[in-house]
Structure 1
Amino acid sequence: MDNPLQPPDSVGGTDAPLRLLIVAYHFPPADSVGARRPAALARYAAERQWDVRVLTTGTPDLENPVPEVPERHIVRVAPVPRLPRLRRSPAAAADGADATASRPATAARTRAADLRLAVNRWVWKAGSELLVPDSQVNWIWPAVRRFLDTRDGWRPDVILATGPPFSVFAVAARLARRLDVPWVADYRDLWSVGNEYWVRTRARRSVDRRLERRLLRSAAASVTVSEPLAEAMRRTLGVHTRVVMNGIDRRPPATSTEPVAGPQARADHAAATLTLAHTGYVYPSRRDPGPLLEAVASLGEDAARVHVVFAGEDNGIVRRAVERTGVADSVTLLGQVSAEKSWRIQAEADVLVLLMWNDPRDAGTVTGKIFDYLFARRPILLLGYESGVAANLIRARGAGVVRNDKQAIAEQLRTWLAMKERSGRIPALPASALDGLFRDDQLARYLVLLGEVAGRVAPTR
């Protein structure tokens, strides 16, 4: 049979390119982690001569268009009516707004920050309870109508919707019914099955479960990013679910010469021997920096030789942990930074910190950040569930260590300090640690699956 990754000329009796519609709320130029999977799939399919269209939100970046997918093939639709963005934390500092943890804060400023945090958490929780299936529900009908009005006779062979947010599933199901084509549900994270990040109460879980079952009845296939998550779907929802992992995204070298940390941070930490970095959001009550900072505090005089950089949305969790453990002189809080600066922070650190949830319910989570870290080829210190997919991947690849106890973390820090003192560096991971983990390695399987759903490739299962 012909290569299923190219437009087949014998299967189904046609040599026309397979037409794929990707429904993704997050898509470039948005630089969120959620935009990477659909963007990579669109690029990969287009490179293999598939006819790819995208239905998404946002505004185009005409100076830096999406590679391989012309803007005329991307339908961008704004939610109507616009709702306030629901956040669990106050707005982050602008990129480059350096703030060391040791900088004094007035009592009034601290109280105001805590009040904003409390209000935002309440609004987020209320919205997560009342808006079904999520706070992007106001995008469903505008997206469906706009695509049908502008498609100009173009009809996909298969639709793929990637969530969260899971409003995209409702969009895909409606379009699939109107156009009489199959659709695939792509789960970057789970919805109502064991996902404590998004589901709050038992009543809301029941509503989501019923809606999810109804939508999946119309889906031709479901896909997720790890085997434990797929098994949870099979066991709980009774749907056959396949696995296509995320992967390492290749990216161009950084072009900025801007210092990673600001002048104050460089002055405070010029003598630091070991630099650790965490990039990205810290989830409340799920990803706890406390054990790491307690370990730094337990080092005594050696604590002055450790520098921990946190780059990401400032939600108060890290700040409070710093205050509680008394290690302000060893910590820099950079706030929100650009994607390029985040990558530079990763590349310049000695060790990268990956905060995950130390709970069996997080066993199947494979955060996209782990692939960014692997690409930086710096050792990883994972705080999280020791039998999870992420922990097993790090150990199998010799890419770092998994530690949760503050004494064990402190001992590991001492080991790295001694290594840095002896040789002046922490060795990079070997290139072989990345073998088979690049995004394209995973996407080849995805195109086969989509070809099967569209009836253009013989099923392999």
Structure 2
Amino acid sequence: MGQRPHVLYVAWGFPPCRSGGTYRALATANALARGGFDVTVLTCEREVFERYTGVDASLEPEVDPRIRVERVPFTWPALEPDLREWSLLRAVSPPAWSRLRRTLDQRPFPEPTYGPWRPVIEQAAERIHRERPVDLVVATANPHVAFTAPLHLHDRFGVPFVADYRDAWSFDVFTGKVLHTPESREGRWEERVLAGAREVWFVNEPIRARQAAEHPEHAAKLHVVANGYDRAFVAEGVERRPDPEAGLVLGYIGTISRQVPVTELVEGWRLARESSEVLRRSTVALHGYIGHNAPLPAVQAAIAAGADAGVDYRGPVPKAEVRRAYDGFDVLLLVLGTGTYVTSGKVYEYLATGLPVVSVHDPGNAATEVVRDYPLWFPCASLEPADVAAALRAAADAALTASEEVRRQCVEFGRQFTREGQLDPRVAALLASVQQETAVAS
């Protein structure tokens, strides 16, 4: 691998995993390789994603060919579909089995489902380090068990590490509710991570600020590394111009979870169509998985309830096909769960397109600060149907009347949020620090 510093990147979800965090993991590993590191990725076997989460095969070719990927086993008993693999206890009393399974999972590390991965990745990290010394570890949540591998190398061999929290560990980003206290087992593990890490990354300023307030002794090492958008996948400036006679396509791309206010969107859409001939000829196109790992009947029902009003669920889009999907939209729907600490990765993709963006989310969301100065931003004053309808109508009008100059300004505004722009400065700082330490040691 030459004389480049060796970084170990630890991520549970890595291509071909289809979860939202995979895009950040892929981009980070590529940024490290592009930025001067030799990169080894430690992640799950492909079969884990094929069996349990689903895959996006279009992502694997995007991994920098210089990156070495080490795949290790991960078991997920709770999602085991083969009844022949079930124990007698699980077959006879699923609740009792679930309680026992949860207890067993958390013995190695206080995280349901993922705790047993700790010894697997600690042993793998040490093996990789012995094969070729690791100069830096970067690990990304969630799950937070990923942080045990860098802690292991840090404690045994003094290897520095970065903890990419993405969101938060100690509180719920949707509600702000505290999930664990400093005195809890989780809290003690978190303090080890914060104290040992060289840097800790978060996706937005509200999360970083709260963590800094709760952990002032570690505030100097806390950084915002926003998600940004991947230029390889997103059209910077959609060329499509709408035909009012044919109607508009108002599009959404992203995972549709329980937190996404689909019902509010459908109710507002129905109301908007009542007073707009163009919208009566238009379609709401929803792309994405419904839920992360399991079906969500309530969400499916909420979508189906809008079918007679032109709400069309079109299924997931492989990452490599996202550009084509954006090219078919006239207006973008930023539909997010309520939460002061919620940004979402899709907001950056939306801004790159230059299309009108409707914020169908609580105005207090962190995403509001990202899009506030976007020239074609149409926020809902609330999630009441009348406010959602008003924003939808305004965005539709803008799609038909916005000048080329305004669209150009939108694209220019979005360019500040490229993924490279978010990651490269931090990677450069890490490379400089590692090289300096190497020079001093030699």
Q: Please give the range of the TM-score, normalised by the shorter of the 2 chains.
A: 0.7 to 0.9
1:244 has 2:225 as partner: yes
Distance verdict in 2 for CA 1:307–1:438, change over 3 Å: same
Q: Which is worse superposed, 219-228 or 160-169?
A: 219-228
> What residue identity is the alignment partner of 2:392?
L
Residue 412 of structure 1: aligned partner: 391
Distance verdict in 2 for CA 1:456–1:135, change over 3 Å: farther
Deviation (angstroms), 1:455 = 6.7
Given the alignment, which residue of 226, 233, 245 partners 2:204? 226
Structure (1/2) with the larger helix percentage: 2
Distance verdict in 2 for CA 1:318–1:63, change over 3 Å: closer
Aligned mates of 2:103, 2:412 — CA distance in 1: 42
Residue 52 of structure 1: aligned partner: 39
Structure with more contact order per residue of length (Cα contacts < 8 Å, sep ≥ 6): 1
Partner deviation per Cα, 1:21-55 (whole Å, 9 max, x = no partner): 11111222334331222322322232233222211
1:279 has 2:253 as partner: yes
Partner deviation per Cα, 1:407-446 (whole Å, 9 max, x = no partner): 1221233334445667999985643122321111122221
1:312 has 2:312 as partner: no
> What residue identity is the alignment partner of 2:385?
K
Residue 6 of structure 1: aligned partner: none
> What residue identity is the alignment partner of 2:345?
G
Aligned mates of 1:179, 1:372 — CA distance in 2: 40
Matches within 5 A, 1:271-350: 273-284=247-258, 286-298=259-271, 299-300=273-274, 302=276, 304-314=280-290, 315-322=296-303, 328-350=308-330
Residue 33 of structure 1: aligned partner: 20
Matches within 5 A, 1:122-271: 131=106, 132-151=110-129, 153-196=131-174, 206-238=184-216, 239-240=218-219, 241-251=222-232
Percentage of identical aligned residues:
23
Structure 1: state its 5+ residue gaps: 1-14, 87-118, 255-269
Aligned mates of 1:445, 1:423 — CA distance in 2: 35
Residue 398 of structure 1: aligned partner: 375
Deviation (angstroms), 1:159 = 0.9
Structure 2: state its 5+ residue gaps: 48-56, 81-93, 236-243, 291-295
Deviation (angstroms), 1:406 = 2.1
Aligned mates of 1:44, 1:415 — CA distance in 2: 39
Residue 372 of structure 1: aligned partner: 349
Deviation (angstroms), 1:130 = 6.8
Partner SS, residue 362 of structure 2: coil
RMSD (Å), alpha carbons = 3.9
Q: Which is worse superposed, 241-250 or 193-202?
A: 193-202
Q: How many residues are aligned here?
A: 388
1:84 has 2:78 as partner: yes
Verify the 8 A CA contact 1:42 1:52 in the aligned structure 2. yes
Distance verdict in 2 for CA 1:30–1:426, change over 3 Å: farther
1:456 has 2:432 as partner: no
Residue 264 of structure 1: aligned partner: none
Q: Which is worse superposed, 225-234 or 403-412?
A: 403-412
Verify the 8 A CA contact 1:193 1:233 in the aligned structure 2. no
Partner SS, residue 333 of structure 1: strand
Matches within 5 A, 1:88-103: none
Distance verdict in 2 for CA 1:204–1:457, change over 3 Å: closer
Verify the 8 A CA contact 1:199 1:205 in the aligned structure 2. no
